[in-house]
Amino acid sequence: MPTKGAKTSSDPRLLAERAVPQDGEARNDRHPNRKRARSVTVNLSESPLGWLHARGHLSDRQFDAGEKLRADWERANLAPHVTMRWDAAPVAGGKRAAPVVLNETEAQIAARLRFDKAINHLGRDLSDIAWRIICGGEGAPVAEKKLGWPARSGKLVLKIALDRLAEYYRLPG
């Protein structure tokens, strides 16, 4: 078994092994000499949405809708770039064609508009759990606790939000 932070030669994913308490056992180390009976290997680079999809809790359509939202969120929140443009300079006497793609600022603004429209489409009730899990990278139990929701309710509400996002993005279902 790989140890915390180790990479395996056959699997390039970052893995960590964490102890899982037995039923009824508290998560503290009052008995440091006692061995844990169970452990779980966690891929530290896997998103909560990817984790749910890999284990069959989300359909491909729901996963794709969440990934579209996350991609827009990441594009809208890009770190600032260097102030100088590093594009090729125009050749003397040649005509420079109009750019086909948006520059970084325009792409960031367009992504922010798409993200805002998608979040508004979800509405106040669904956007909070969608943002926390899809964009914020929180696990469902953490998001439920921060929102003051009952245990195991976040995944159900997230699935509803992802279905609504899939309709908004017009993904085939």
The pLDDT tens digits for 27-38 are 555 555 655 556
Taking residues 139-158, report their average pLDDT.
Answer: 93
DSSP for 45-80, written as a single string: T--HHHHHHHTTSS-HHHHHHHHHHHHHHHHHTPPP
| Cα gap 50→26, rounded to integer Å | 29
The pLDDT tens digits for 2-11 are 444 444 445 5
The model's confidence at residue 157, banded by pLDDT at 50, 70 and 90, is very high
Domain range summary for the chain, segments of one domain joined by +: 1-45, 48-90+104-173
41: pLDDT strictly greater than 60: yes
If one counts every other C-beta atom within 10 angstroms of the C-beta of residue 70, the result is 21
The pLDDT tens digits for 104-144 are 778 889 999 999 999 999 999 899 999 999 988 889 999 99
Residue 112 CA neighbour count, 13 Å, CB half: 9
Percent of the chain with pLDDT over 70: 60
